[in-house]
Chain A
Amino acid sequence: MGLVPGLIKGLGVTGGTILRTVFPDGLKKPIPAPSRGAETVQYPHEKEAPPPRARGVIALHEENCTSCMLCARECPDWCIYIEGHKEKAPPRRAGGKPRKRNKLDRFDIDFALCMFCGICVDVCPFDALFWSPEYEFSEPRIADLLHDKSRLSEWMETVPEFEDYEAGSEAKKLKVPPT
């Protein structure tokens, strides 16, 4: 492309974007409505709908956690704190020996340290950690970003149902059947 046609085409691109932004209905109905034409989402007034697989925050399904510590050990930032104790559970058959079960006492994630790499979600063998698209969890004090297991469990409600990546793809298999 020559010099002058290139320059004119450049002006056309930017000028065309102005027209598309200011007049989203096209030039036949020239009503200026830039808030509809622009891509901007005016955040505090209107909320953006994040895509379902967005990495917003990590949610905890408490019943599935066996406090195996795999996530805490794999975490590059060491931002997961887990404490647990063993407790007796009723035997599976009458007259049998009582079973031992790991009870979770503490499961905190320090979101001031977390870098949202998702290794903990990947590494969890029992489907206890999930990505949630929820993103409004900022705090005025940095120490308050250490969220405990009750807060992490609340976010389970915002975890979307798994959808296939694309038509005909391998369906996701839950590692632990839902109880």
Chain B
Amino acid sequence: MLAELSYWQITSLRVAGGLGGVLLVAGTLVYLHLFKMVSFMQSRLGPMEAGPFGSLQLLAEVGKHLQKEDIFPRKADKFVFGAAPFVILASTFLLVAVVPAGPDVWFVNVDTGIYLAMAVSSVSVIGILMAGWGSANKYSMMGGLRATGQLIAYELPLILAVVGVVIQAGTMNMQGIVAAQANGEIFGWGGIGNPYILTQGVAFFVFMIAMQAELTQAPFDMPIAESELVSGYLTEYSGMRFLLFFIGEFATAGVFASIAAVLFLGGWWAPIPGLAFDDNVWNLLGPLLLIGKIVILTFIVFWVRFTFPRFREDQLQRIAWKFLIPIALANIVVTALFKVWF
């Protein structure tokens, strides 16, 4: 059906789908996890007044932020300061492009999908560094530098964890990875396919920890450590631009969780024995399954976030270089050996 449309129609459909996919998922995560889950964790109710059970609270917050003044510090580098949140949002929107949500539900289907995702995800470092530099504030600068050191350190275990999956699947295409899990066998037993969380559990563990650090969620939130750096690279932001950072944080959490879902939980496919739908059913069911998996994975991310206190800066680097990277490398070696033997 898509082939009948002209190029600009397909493009606008993709833009609308990307906007909806990112913003709706981000809004759902903010409501479910930031507003409700953390409240229940502290034996309180969270927002209850705006809409049924406070479900429209996020709209109220957006309205509040839109009314606020967009302040530029006098010595700020105006262009860099103003552009930083858009760079971060751009990296999020580029990430979502490669995530498939069904056999025919995808934005782009490139052969090196996961490679593109890993490359694009590091663009957000530049946005954070721009925010830290452009603010002309020493706390922002230190926050930006901390974020850069942290994101670069944790990019390595993230990518090394993905390598194990890529070796086992034999493809970098996201659809190919989903298909490899759906049609795979665990040492000759193909009852539930092969969701890679079972055979690549170590990689999943490393990926989740590295993802927590990439999202700068506590216990890895040194870049915005409020007890040390006021608010890190967010210190000078207000109004609309702060809102963009805020949405970007949760949208990126959702997108990273969707990548983890595709890599380790089978993406839009469900590991249920005897489940044989045709593609049309999967096209409807796939996005829902993917969103369900995103919610489960981000639940783990925010559960950890709201439970543990912050690491010290040197502990952060030690975990990445001395613990996660060796584990990920060992996982790659073992995966490669098994791939050759079996």
Residues on A lying within 8 angstroms of B by beta carbon are 7, 10-11, 13-15, 17-18, 20-22, 34-35, 37-40, 42
**Shortest distance in angstroms between B218's beta carbon and chain A's nearest beta carbon?**
12
Q: Is residue B71 contacting chain A, with contact meaning CB distance below 8 A?
A: no
Give A17 to B307 CA distance when docked, in angstroms: 11
Cβ of B306 and Cβ of A14 under 8 Å apart? Answer: yes
> Interface SS of chain A: helix, strand, loop or mixed?
helix
**Shortest distance in angstroms between B300's beta carbon and chain A's nearest beta carbon?**
9
Residues of A within 8 A of B227 (CB): none
**Shortest distance in angstroms between A79's beta carbon and chain B's nearest beta carbon?**
34
Cβ of B303 and Cβ of A38 under 8 Å apart? Answer: no
Given the contacts A35-B45, A42-B45, A42-B48, A22 and B40 also touching, CB distance less than 8 Å:
yes
Cβ of A40 and Cβ of B37 under 8 Å apart? Answer: no
Cβ of A17 and Cβ of B41 under 8 Å apart? Answer: yes
Cβ of B307 and Cβ of A38 under 8 Å apart? Answer: no
Cβ of B45 and Cβ of A34 under 8 Å apart? Answer: yes
Cβ of A21 and Cβ of B40 under 8 Å apart? Answer: yes
Residues of A within 8 A of B308 (CB): 7, 10
Cβ of A38 and Cβ of B45 under 8 Å apart? Answer: yes
Residues on B lying within 8 angstroms of A by beta carbon are 37, 39-45, 48, 303-304, 306-308
Residues of B within 8 A of A7 (CB): 308
Residues of A within 8 A of B37 (CB): 18
Closest 7 CB pairs of A and B: A21-B40, A40-B45, A14-B307, A18-B40, A40-B44, A14-B41, A38-B45
Cβ of A17 and Cβ of B42 under 8 Å apart? Answer: yes
Give A35 to B42 CA distance when docked, in angstroms: 13
Which A-chain residue is minimally distant from B39 (CB atoms)? Answer: A38
Which A-chain residue is minimally distant from B300 (CB atoms)? Answer: A11
Cβ of A11 and Cβ of B307 under 8 Å apart? Answer: yes
Which B-chain residue is minimally distant from A18 (CB atoms)? Answer: B40
Residues of B within 8 A of A15 (CB): 303
Known: A20-B43, A34-B45, A38-B44. 10 other contacts (CB 8 A): A10-B307, A11-B307, A13-B307, A14-B307, A15-B303, A21-B40, A21-B44, A38-B40, A38-B43, A42-B48
Cβ of B43 and Cβ of A39 under 8 Å apart? Answer: yes
Give A107 to B273 CA distance when docked, in angstroms: 81
Residues of A within 8 A of B303 (CB): 11, 14-15
Give A35 to B46 CA distance when docked, in angstroms: 10
Cross-interface CB contact of B43 among A10, A11, A21, cutoff 8 Å: A21
Give A94 to B40 CA distance when docked, in angstroms: 74
Which among A13, A14, A22 has the greatest number of chain B C-beta atoms within 10 A? A14
Which B-chain residue is minimally distant from A15 (CB atoms)? Answer: B303
**Shortest distance in angstroms between B191's beta carbon and chain A's nearest beta carbon?**
29
Which among B39, B40, B304 has the greatest number of chain A C-beta atoms within 10 A? B40
Which A-chain residue is minimally distant from B44 (CB atoms)? Answer: A40
CB<8 Å pairs between A and B, sample of 20: A10-B307, A10-B308, A11-B307, A14-B41, A14-B303, A14-B307, A17-B40, A17-B42, A18-B37, A18-B41, A20-B43, A21-B43, A21-B44, A34-B40, A38-B39, A38-B43, A39-B43, A40-B43, A42-B45, A42-B48
Give A21 to B308 CA distance when docked, in angstroms: 20
Give A40 to B48 CA distance when docked, in angstroms: 11
Which B-chain residue is minimally distant from A7 (CB atoms)? Answer: B308
